[in-house]
């Protein structure tokens, strides 16, 4: 593990690290905030998945999570949004595909399959790496994210209900298989057979029997992507009669930016802390 930076914040440590990834066939970067409580005992870990065009740095620099994470005793892990490097396939003129736009899936189609194994990276390789190097209680894990990262968090939780105790999302893409800005990426990563898309779509996962106890979703009503890409009401409809709980909060005047995320970050961290206690 390479230490790229370490800074003290609210008595804890904010670090940025990199390591060689077998899953993604290259060097991956991630950020970890370790609260002061971790010097005394293992702490629960909450995974934050960022959105399209982002890296680990967006939430680390603008998400304003450290004060509350220190107070609650939460370790926050912020992975990158895709593999990186000169040999990693990309579409330079398409921000919805390639670097920064992995959709947290395991690609099966060329040229993407060699490097774009982000589901395996997030659910297997990076957790094992974090458990080796940080004082975490891996029996207490939560996951949340924004936009594409909200999609990733919800699908990962639905497929791994025995691992995660809590899940929340800011403005998630709840049905990427039918959204204009995500369906083309799913086809390129996974092929034209739409049945292979279903494990990476929160609504279709629920239709196919996946379950998770409850979700918290915050969504801004002034979000320019609300009608065409996000559509949280589709997930609200999908879970009817399933027993899945949903707290969906729609906020006047809030958009898709980190001003929105930072406003409600404390609420999400408290949500996770209560369920990870």
Q: What positions carry a catalytic annotation?
A: 147, 223, 256
**How many Å apart are CA 212 and CA 206, to the nearest integer?**
9
Residue count (the chain): 277
User: Can you read off the two tokens belonging to residue 238?
Assistant: 């999908």
> Coil, helix or strand for 99?
coil
User: Can you read off the two tokens belonging to residue 261?
Assistant: 């995320």
Q: What is the DSSP string of 209-242?
A: T---SEEEEEEETT-TTIIIII-HHHHHHHTTTS
Q: Work out whether strand 245-251 and strand 214-220 pair parallel, antiparallel, or are unpaired.
A: parallel
Distances (CA, A) of 159 to 212, 220, 269: 8, 27, 22
């Amino acid at each position: 593990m390479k230490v790229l930076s370490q800074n003290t914040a609210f008595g804890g440590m904010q670090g940025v690290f990199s390591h060689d990834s077998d899953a993604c066939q290259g060097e991956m970067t991630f950020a970890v905030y370790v609260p002061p409580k971790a010097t005394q005992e293992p702490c629960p870990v909450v995974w934050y998945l960022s959105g399209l065009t982002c890296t680990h740095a967006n939430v680390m620099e603008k998400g304003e999570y450290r004060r509350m994470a220190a107070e609650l005793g939460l370790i926050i892990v912020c992975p990158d949004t895709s593999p990186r490097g000169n040999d990693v396939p990309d579409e330079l003129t398409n921000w919805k595909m390639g670097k920064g736009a992995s959709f947290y899936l395991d690609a099966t189609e060329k040229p993407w399959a060699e490097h774009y194994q982000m589901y395996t990276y997030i659910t297997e390789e990076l957790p094992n790496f974090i458990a080796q190097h940080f004082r975490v209680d891996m029996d207490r894990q939560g996951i949340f994210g924004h936009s594409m990262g909200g999609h990733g968090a919800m699908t990962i939780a639905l497929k791994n209900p025995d691992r995660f105790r809590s899940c929340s999302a800011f403005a998630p893409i709840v049905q990427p298989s039918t959204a204009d800005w995500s369906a083309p990426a799913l086809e390129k990563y996974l092929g034209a057979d739409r049945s292979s898309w279903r494990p990476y779509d929160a609504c279709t996962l629920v239709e196919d029997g996946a379950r998770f106890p409850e979700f918290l979703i915050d969504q801004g009503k002034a979000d320019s992507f609300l009608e065409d890409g996000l559509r949280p009401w589709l997930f609200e409809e999908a879970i009817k009669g399933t027993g899945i709980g949903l707290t969906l909060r729609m906020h006047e005047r809030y958009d898709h930016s980190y001003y929105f995320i930072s406003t409600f970050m404390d609420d999400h961290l408290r949500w996770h802390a209560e369920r990870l206690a």
